[in-house]
Chain A
Amino acid sequence: MTRLKRNVRLVFIMFCGLFLSLLGYLTYFQVYERQKLIESSYNRRLWEQEETVTRGTIYDAKGRVLAKTVEENGAKKRVYPEGEAFGPIIGYSNKKLGRANLEQALNGELLGISQQDPMMVLRQKVLGVSKGNDVYLTIDSELQNKAYQLFRGRRGALVALDPNTGAVLALVSSPGYDPDFIEQMWESLSKDENSPLLNRAVQGLYPPGSTFKIVTLAAALESIPDIESRTYETPGHVEVNGRVIRDYEGFRPGNYDIKRAFSLSSNSVFVKVGLEVGKERLIDKAIDFGFNDKISFELPVAASRFPRFSMIGDDVELAEASIGQGKILTTPFQMAVVASAVANGGRIIKPYIVQKVVTPLGEVKNFSNPSVLKEAIDVVTANKIREYMVDVVEHGTGRAAGIKGIKVAGKTGSAENPHGKPHAWFVGFAPADNPKIAVAVVVENAGSGGTNAAPIARDVIRYFLMNGK
């Protein structure tokens, strides 16, 4: 073959490469870029859709309307019948202010533009459907309202999950706002010191305080074989490298086994336990429970932070970390996941808030398939922690969460913070032997968790078990 012809073949190979790159890029585009562009706010198809399509309705788990679009004097208007408790979770869809929270996150579904099935799209186009999809949440609006009222306007948040499925039963952030008045109230809401526009349940980062002892306990039970037969003698405080960490006022010095120390939330004992577990295993356990990782959820969840290996410089920092102080920060959402993992035999189930989506033609897209993300702890450890948590409510710091006739498991926390009184925490689940609901409650700067957060959790659990299901 002449050199000329060889070169012609090279040219052909070059064209093979060029055309393959066209096809490759088109494929890449379809797989990775497409959805983002369809939902881009610059896409004029979206604006058109907004004008011509009636935005879908948002329902709660029992079919009560949370947001719907109505015609008023020929103009479309979005209304939110359930009021203040729902602002931080449903958000708003407003021409002037844009969209927020679930109205934003579910925009594609509500406008009916994130349909994947091409036949469905074609049928709607041919039939001239001009309505978006309806979305059914897992939220129980009565429970949500009840929980919101229990905060009485104080700053705080509550997350309630179904530990068996991961369904979010309530997601409260207090103070809230009524999305019906978002436009009139915008000025005052955005300047309010209590930041009602912030969804504390998923975006608020707090030190977890003693509720984190669940994680320390899990690490200890798994790594120190004889831990349950040991007793720790404590004078009511412990000194680590010159820093003194105290137990709470009224804690009596003496001999405690680990279960009793957990029940009474002894800082001095748990510092010792934490130091023995060591930073590597404590970090690993925190990560097993989902710290330092983004939880994928319909609403953006701030990643909870546990200090990484290099950030725990000395024993003082490790000591603080083992009782949930220092550099740890967590969302109420994350702590609800921790409680529900214990309730569920150690498995972390992916939390979700959208139960199903119904298209105007009646097709149902179901999203309520529980999926196990990972195993945080093994079943044996989970069952022990459950037993310990029941003891907290029956004989320990969490007695205010006790309900007659129902075995409640829980853990209190009073998280020291630079903004004033401790944040009151309670995480737990019930009924302990067959958990139906897992909750995490935080009330900002309210004081002790046992007296300020536990009662809220109790009322929510009781209300749900009496009225729910």
Chain B
Amino acid sequence: MDSREEAIYNRSLAAMALVGFLSFLLLSAYRKPLDFLPFYGAIAFLTVVFVGYFFTGWILANSDKFLLLLSSFLAQLGLIMLCRINPELFKRQVIFFAIGVAFFILVSFFTKYLLRLELAPFFYWVATAALLILPLLFGVEKGGAKNWLVFDGFTFQPSELAKITFAFYLAGALKNGRITSLPRMATEILAVVGLLALSKDLGGAMLFYFTALIVIFVATSRADILAVGGGLSAILGVLGYYLFDHVKVRIEAWLNPWQDVPGRGYQIAQSLFAIAEGGYFGTGLGLGRPDFIPAVATDFIFSAFAEEFGFLGAAAVVLMYFLLVYRGIRIALRLQKNFDILLAVGHTVMFGMQIFTIIGGVIKLIPVTGVTLPFMSYGGSSMVMSFASLGVLNGLWQRALEDEDDDEA
């Protein structure tokens, strides 16, 4: 590897370690009596980062290391907030992070070597549908959406894994650059979206729908499908507004949260108050009031972060997510085979849309839909599957580099 490039990576890693140590030290000192939990947590976290980073470099030499660096930095910012909000969640999130990094390496490896066996797209569709039906049959409701499975006190959100299988399905079905049977494809996609809507996971339904639309456009260049799909989403939105009470509540809270602050506008209003309090520079770590924000550890963690780190911190986070999306696009552009390109695009779009949906939601640019902020929100499924998603991208990147080497040879 280029030594200049390596120096940049190392400097990024050092900056991240510095931010982590300072923040966690501050949190240790802030708790009275002195609490070493944040400090130990930080050591555990940074150990995972360094081990993961060097291990990746060792067994997968051509990795896109920025994927791991950026996602770990974001996870670290999330952990800092979690440690401050609820130390119990923080401890578990550190473990989720470690599992996530392991998945990143594993999935990179699988994608690099085993992806040559391409399964039929129908198989991926069945897997996706099965993952979404399971919670409807056996699941429990959490935060208004019935999309959780529980085994022995261990909860799992299958829709997070479905994101990955769905991206595989789309890439497989569209790899020839055209749609074999439009009615069939439309039925399959709408069935998946319908299952998500049934479990009241509106954010998920939106994500899957738009991801499918964009990947279809990329594969076929058909603007007409994009237009019809866009129109259809508007119709579905209006229908949803009148048919489902929870959709109506969300949209009304978005249009005018101040009409009913104690009621339907409560969540979004508290989120906006927090961001307003932060101002440009933030109140400072530990000095905000995340306890006023509902669902602060999951969906609304960005608001709590914006309160304590201010506009500058929030903008930095948005930019870091943007860089991740940029890396995804960059990988897609280096690939040769249609399937690979569409797979990279599918994952990147799913990831990017999710970030836009939740950040846009908590700042009231668009209506709030309950999706997590990848890497920062508390939650094992989200953390592990987000890393797995990056693992796919990293595996594809290595294949791109290998193919280039083959071409040259």
**Which A residues form the contact surface with B (CB < 8 A)?**
3-5, 7-12, 14-15, 18-19, 21-23, 25-27, 29-30, 33-35, 37-38, 40, 42-45, 48, 118, 121-122, 125
Contact = CB atoms under 8 A, between A and B. Distances in A.
B113 interface: no
6 contacts: A15-B322, A22-B363, A40-B258, A40-B273, A42-B258, A122-B284
A29 B275 contact: yes
B326 A22 contact: no
Interface stretch (B36-44, B126-134, B215-223): B215-223
A8 B329 contact: yes
Contacts of B287: 125
A33 B272 contact: yes
Interface stretch (B92-100, B102-110, B313-321): B313-321
Contacts of B311: 26-27, 30
B66 interface: no
A30 B280 contact: yes
Contact of B338 (A4, A23, A25): A4
Contacts of A19: 318-319, 321-322, 325, 356
Contact of A11 (B214, B270, B277): B214
A118 B281 contact: yes
B318 A26 contact: yes
Contact of A8 (B218, B258, B261, B365): B218
B279 A11 contact: no
Nearest to B217: A7
B292 A11 contact: no
B218 A11 contact: yes
A22 B359 contact: yes
Interface string B292-311: 10000000000000100001
B352 interface: yes
B363 A29 contact: yes
A121 B281 CA distance: 11
Instruction: Give the one of A8, A23, A26, A30 with max B CB within 10 A.
Output: A8
A15 B325 CA distance: 8
B190 interface: no
B283 interface: yes
B359 A15 contact: no
A42 B329 CA distance: 43
Contacts of A45: 273, 277, 289, 292
Contacts, number: 111
Query: Which bucket holds chain B's interface residue count?
Result: 35 or more
Contact of B341 (A5, A15, A26, A33): A5
A4 B177 contact: yes
A35 B272 CA distance: 11
B356 A18 contact: yes
A19 B338 CA distance: 27
A12 B365 contact: no
B67 interface: no
A26 B275 CA distance: 9
B349 interface: yes
B273 A22 contact: no
B46 interface: no
Nearest to B272: A37
Contacts of B275: 26, 29
B231 interface: no
Contacts of A34: 276, 279
B360 interface: yes
Nearest to B322: A19
B396 interface: no
Contacts of A40: 258, 273
A22 B279 contact: no
Contact of A38 (B276, B280, B281, B359): B276
B329 A11 contact: yes
Contacts of B349: 11
A22 B284 contact: no
B332 interface: yes
A281 B74 CA distance: 65
Contacts of A48: 289
Nearest to A40: B273
B273 A43 contact: yes
Contacts of A26: 275, 306, 311, 314-315, 318, 363
Interface string B201-239: 000000000000010011101000000000000000000
A4 B219 contact: yes
B388 interface: no
B329 A18 contact: no
B378 to A, nearest CB: 22
A449 to B, nearest CB: 46
Contact of A37 (B273, B321, B333): B273
Contacts of A4: 177, 218-219, 338, 341
A38 B360 CA distance: 20
Given A15-B325, A34-B276, A8 B333 contact: yes
A440 to B, nearest CB: 38
A15 B280 contact: no
Contacts of B322: 15, 19
Contacts of B217: 7
Contact of B363 (A14, A18, A25, A35): A25
